[in-house]
Amino acid sequence: MTYETIIVEQRGAVTLVTLNRPQALNALNGQVLDELLAAMAAFDADASQGCAVVTGSAKAFAAGADIKEMQAQGFAAMYGHDFFAGWDRFTRTRKPIIAAVAGYALGGGCELAMMCDFILAADTAKFGQPEVKLAVSPGMGGSQRLARAVGKAKAMEMCLTGRMMDAAEAERAGLVSRIVPADELVEEAVKTAATIAAMAPLAVLANKEMVNMAFESGLAAGVQFERRLFHGLFGSADQSEGMAAFVEKRAGVWTGK
């Protein structure tokens, strides 16, 4: 597929996806969604790829859903077509995705970053859910994921006032895993993704699935889910190899089986 609003590159086992609508600060329209879904489906299906990075520009990861696309819409079209439901497919990507955020991650941009498995932030990153200023609300999961990530007080304040969080506050609040200098952001994200891509593939899928279950279940059910996946990994050749390699003081060689 030829992409017009994103750039997709393979760096070894890492798929690097760069949002590329600079004229609109990477605002997320229907074409961006379609292209991202196609890129993520290709990434998931490609056995040579182990982890993805989604990034934007130095000024904006993404400044939101495309306001100009939504401006003339009414309730019937939005509800009738379940507008934004396509983003749920992005979250069903099975392999890990890192968001590398510099500049603005606002509205749908913040929501896209939170749909990724974790966020690496440049020191220039700014996160916000300013939809209330447009007389609407988050619609791509932001109210739910932000509240789970930073707790009710900060999520409520951000959604009700549209206030932005800078990178330092986002790290303190637990929204981002780490802050890196802006000019090292993509390089550091690709390096982190390469570390993940070098792990045994089934173990990576299982680890992602079980951490996500923490957001979907109560503690006892989540712990049970973790244990069953853990048991299941003992059916893989890579488990035998991984533990033998540790005992023999050498690096494991994975087959993905």
124 neighbors 103 (Cβ within 8 angstroms): yes
Name which position in 140, 155, 167, 176 contacts ligand CAA (CB under 6 A): 140
56 interacts with ligand CAA by CB under 6 A: no
> Among residues 14, 19, 25, 122, which is the contact residue for ligand CAA, using CB under 6 A?
25
Q: Is 27 in the site for ligand CAA (CB under 6 A)?
A: yes
Q: Residue 32 — φ and ψ, nearest 5°?
A: -60, -45
Beta strand pairing status for 165-166 and 126-128? Answer: antiparallel
Q: Determine the residue type at 80.
A: G
Q: Under a CB-based contact definition with an 8 Å cutoff, are residues 146 and 129 in contact?
A: yes
User: Does residue 249 bind ligand CAA (CB under 6 A)?
Assistant: no
Distances (CA, A) of 148 to 45, 126, 136, 145, 212: 30, 18, 21, 5, 12
- The reply to whether 111 belongs to the active site is yes
185 binds ligand CAA (CB under 6 A): no
Active-site residue (options: 111, 125, 139, 171): 111
162 flagged as catalytic: no
The answer to whether residue 65 forms part of the interface with ligand CAA (CB under 6 A) is yes
**248 in active site:** no
Q: Least CB distance from residue 39 to ligand CAA, whole Å? A: 19
Task: Report which DSSP code applies to 158.
Answer: H
Helix (H, G, I), strand (E, B) or coil at 192: helix
Which range binds ligand CAA by CB under 6 A, 8-16, 45-53, 103-111, 149-157? Answer: 103-111
Give the active site residue among 24, 62, 63, 65: 65
Structure-token pair, residue 113: 């970053």
Q: Which residue has the tokens 């750039």?
A: 7
By beta-carbon proximity to ligand CAA, the closer residue of 66 and 171 is 66
Stretch that binds ligand CAA, among 1-9, 64-72, 152-160, 206-214 (CB under 6 A): 64-72
First-to-last alpha carbon distance for the chain, in angstroms, is 30
CB of 81 to ligand CAA, least distance (A): 15
Q: Which of 50, 64, 96, 201 binds ligand CAA (CB under 6 A)?
A: 64
Judge whether 48 and 197 are in contact, CB under 8 Å.
Answer: no
Indicate which residue of 50, 99, 131, 189 is catalytic: 131
Do the Cβ atoms of 61 and 17 come closer than 8 Å?
no
Is 61 a binding residue for ligand CAA by CB under 6 A? The answer is no
Please report whether residue 35 would count as binding ligand CAA according to CB under 6 A: no
Rounded to whole angstroms, the Cα distance separating 7 from 30 reads 16
Binding site for ligand CAA (CB under 6 A): 24-25, 27, 63-68, 104, 106-108, 111, 130-131, 134, 138-140, 142
Question: Which are the catalytic amino acids?
Answer: 65, 108, 111, 131
